[in-house]
Amino acid sequence: MANNGIEIYIPGYSSLNVQLICSDYTGTLSYVGQLIEGVRERFDKLASEGVQIHVVTSDTRKTASRELADMPITLQSEIPSDRHDEYKLQYLKGLGVHLKNVAVFGNGKNDKLWLEAVRDAGGLAIAVDVGEGCAVETLMSATVFVTGIANALDLLIDKKRIIGTLRTEADKM
């Protein structure tokens, strides 16, 4: 039987069924172009749970293809538009998954629109800082802000972390 993503019940918030992750690369999964330690193992774990993973990046340092090689992801590192923010949002919408079933990660101003769309649809929009900063507009468009991509991905792997962050009432179970 195939896994269909990650189920998370958050008391007083909602139930999440994360089927798809979309992430930026530069400043989100990488620091000065190098993949952050622990991302590969976490992506392997999430993929084994049936989560599709897409990385959509402007790839400022042109290292994404090398750093993400042989990982269970789809990489889109060539953005054929001057409006990277709009391209990322349209790419995400074109994947055919309801935005409520998406976790999206980003730090740059060009991540604002997809974080906002996922947040407004009831999905999980996570602004991340790995040491390269997080645009304030992007931060304000998120559901959660986390320092470190490993910590951000662990919100999905160790479900009690996100429950503790977003719950609004006691769990009656």
Question: 1 near 49, Cβ under 8 Å?
Answer: no
- Report pTM: 0.95
pLDDT in tens, the chain (173 residues): 346 899 999 998 889 999 999 999 999 999 999 999 999 999 999 999 999 999 999 999 999 999 999 999 999 998 988 999 999 999 999 999 999 999 999 999 999 999 999 999 999 999 999 999 999 999 999 999 999 999 999 999 999 999 999 999 876 65
Report the pLDDT value the prediction gives residue 80, as an integer from 0 to 100: 86
Please state, in angstroms and rounded to a whole number, the distance separating the CA atoms of residues 3 and 131.
34
Q: Which residue type does 53 have?
A: I
d(CA 22, CA 76): 10
Q: How far, in Å, CA of 150 to CA of 14, rounded?
A: 24
pLDDT computed for residue 171 by the predictor: 66
Q: Where are the domains of the chain?
A: 15-161
b/e sequence 110-141, b meaning 16+ C-beta within 10 Å: bbbbbbbbbbeebbbbbbbbbeeebbebbbeb
Q: Which pLDDT score is estimated for 172?
A: 61
Q: Among 63, 47, 51, 53, which residue's Cα sits nearest to residue 22?
A: 53
In this predicted structure, what is the pLDDT of residue 173?
53
Instruction: Tell me yes or no: is domain 15-161 CATH 3.40.50.1000.
Output: yes
